[in-house]
Amino acid sequence: MSPEIDNRIPAALLILRFSLAIFLLQWSIEKLILPEAAQRIASNFYGVTLAVPASYALGVAELILSLALLLGFYRTISYGLSLLVHTVTVIVSWRQLFDPYGLAKVGSHLWISTWPTWGGFAALFLMRAWDAWTIDGLRQSRSTQPLDQAMRL
Note down pLDDT in tens along the chain; length 153 residues. 565 668 899 999 999 999 999 999 999 999 999 999 999 999 988 889 999 999 999 999 999 999 999 999 999 999 999 999 999 999 998 888 888 888 888 777 888 899 999 999 999 999 999 999 999 999 988 887 654 454 444
Domain that holds residue 84: 3-129
pLDDT at 116: 95
Query: How many domains, the chain?
Result: 1
**Any residues with CB less than 8 A from the CB of 127 and at least 6 apart, and which?**
9, 13
pLDDT at 100: 82
pLDDT at 152: 46
pTM: 0.86
Residue 90 falls inside a structural domain: yes
Q: What DSSP letter does each residue of 59-123 carry, written as one string? A: HHHHHHHHHHHHHT-SHHHHHHHHHHHHHHHHHHTHHHHT-TT-TTSS--GGGGGHHHHHHHHHH
Residue 37 falls inside a structural domain: yes
Residue 149 falls inside a structural domain: no
Return the exposure string of 27-65: e unless at least 16 CB atoms fall within 10 Å of the residue's CB, then b: bbebbeeebeebbebbeeeeeeebeeebbeebbeebbeb
Residue 153 falls inside a structural domain: no
pLDDT at 124: 98
Give φ, ψ of 118 to 5 degrees: -60, -40
Residue 120 falls inside a structural domain: yes
Residue 139 falls inside a structural domain: no
Sign for the CA dihedral angle at 89, 113, 111, 66 comes to positive
